[in-house]
Chain A
Amino acid sequence: NAGVTQTPKFRILKIGQSMTLQCTQDMNHNYMYWYRQDPGMGLKLIYYSVGAGITDKGEVPNGYNVSRSTTEDFPLRLELAAPSQTSVYFCASSYSRQGQTQYFGPGTRLLVL
């Protein structure tokens, strides 16, 4: 099992550009999550999904969109990149939401200039 994979590893965007961060898991997990991690801060939840076709907002959803068309894939879309979106983004998955371990991908480092 590859677990959770993310692409790209690193990307530089100009203000106003758009991009999609890819996330795939091969553990057949129902739940998937997108977090951002900023220096000195805990991971913040952006969006999550409880299964194909079902997504919901987390703590910091503004400026982002998600979709979940399959169990395996959960892409994160940035429509109009802003410097405040400079961060490291992690995708995670779990079997359920309560009391279950979340398994993380290697992360995507995004720099918006």
Chain B
Amino acid sequence: EDQVTQSPEALRLQEGESSSLNCSYTVSGLRGLFWYRQDPGKGPEFLFTLYSAGEEKEKERLKATLTKKESFLHITAPKPEDSATYLCAVNNNNDMRFGAGTRLTVKP
């Protein structure tokens, strides 16, 4: 069965302290790996799509990478406004399967 596991469940950083979020997956026929940001009380907001191992994408302080078994969301010099829950999802031939998310808190 396809599975997506995100770690850690929660992460607290000081402003400027870089770190990485992990998304491990098992899927038959990967059609895409997606990262979303979700603020409290809001819907998930699309960040990145990665399609093949070795692919990388960047947006401001965020960089997503992909291997055959996992994806990382690297956050460089985070700011308090980066505080949110980050969701990972994998798309196979039919379904989009979501991880439970990593709740990131960045303290000033």
Contacts and interface: CB of A to CB of B under 8 A. Distances in A.
Interface residues of A, number: 22
Contacts of B36: 104
A106 B100 contact: no
Size range of the chain B interface in the assembly: 20 to 34
A102 interface: yes
B51 A99 contact: yes
Contact of A99 (B32, B43, B87, B97): B32
B43 A105 contact: yes
Nearest to A9: B41
Interface in B52-108: 87, 89, 91, 93-101
A103 interface: yes
Interface of A: 4, 33, 40-43, 45, 58-59, 90, 97-107, 109
26 contacts: A4-B43, A40-B9, A42-B4, A42-B89, A42-B97, A42-B100, A43-B87, A43-B89, A45-B95, A45-B96, A58-B95, A59-B95, A90-B43, A90-B44, A97-B94, A98-B32, A98-B93, A99-B31, A100-B32, A102-B34, A106-B42, A106-B43, A107-B41, A107-B42, A107-B43, A109-B41
Interface of B: 4, 9, 31-32, 34, 36, 41-46, 49, 51, 87, 89, 91, 93-101
